[in-house]
Each structure stands twice: as C-alpha cells, then as structure tokens.
Amino acid sequence: MTGAGDFLNEETVLALLVGIFVGLLAYVALAQLVGRGRPSKDKSVTERQFGNVFSIMDEGRRQSLIRYYMEKHECGREEAMHRAVDERARDSNRW
C-alpha cells in the first residue's frame, strides 16, 4: 500500500492538475485557431429552413424549384424559398 500512497502525494496531484489545466488551455486555443480558418457561410433563416424541408432533393432540383417559384410569383430568391416552404407545409397539413 505504500506504493500507491507515495504516488498520490501533494506534488503529484498538483502536477496532474496543472497538466490538465495547461492541456485545456492548449485545446481551447487550438480550437479557436482552427475555427477562424473556416469560411463561414451566413445563410438566412429562410434558406436554412428551405434546405431542411427539401433536404431529400439534390442541389440541382432545389435550385430548379427556387427558379420555378421565382417565375411563378415574380419574386426574389428569399421570397421564393419562403413560398415553397409555406406551400409544402400546407400540403402536409391537408391530410
């Protein structure tokens, strides 16, 4: 039992705590450094919602759907996505 008692003395516990603290600081610094390198795509709420609702479609089909609503309602891209999502919600609530 003296071997375990010698290992867990004050100096060892303090060294472990300092090591954990330094490791956490290094992790946070590295995470922030890596996070800055990524380009952020700021999507509007409507665009994220449109992507979620029509996620089963491939990108070409989604773009085609947006163009269809833009021509049908003579509106911009954001409003077309909003109308597509609204119409999809109405369709799903009919049944």
Count of domains in the chain? 2
Q: Which two tokens stand for residue 21?
A: 């603290």
Does one domain contain both 70 and 33? no
Same domain for 33 and 60: no
Query: Is residue 51 located within the same domain as residue 90?
Result: yes
Asked if 46 and 82 touch (Cβ cutoff 8 Å), the reply is yes
Tokens of 78: 């954001």
Do 32 and 57 share a domain, yes or no? no
pLDDT of residue 1: 47
Q: How far apart are CA 75 and CA 46, in angstroms?
A: 14
Claim to verify: residue 56 and residue 83 sit in the same structural domain? yes
pLDDT in tens, the chain (95 residues): 455 566 678 888 899 999 999 999 999 988 888 876 555 567 889 999 999 999 999 999 999 999 999 999 999 999 999 999 999 999 888 76
Residue span of the structural domain in which 17 resides: 2-37
In this prediction, residue 59 carries a pLDDT of 92
Alpha helices by DSSP H, listed for the chain, are: 2-7, 10-37, 45-53, 59-73, 77-94
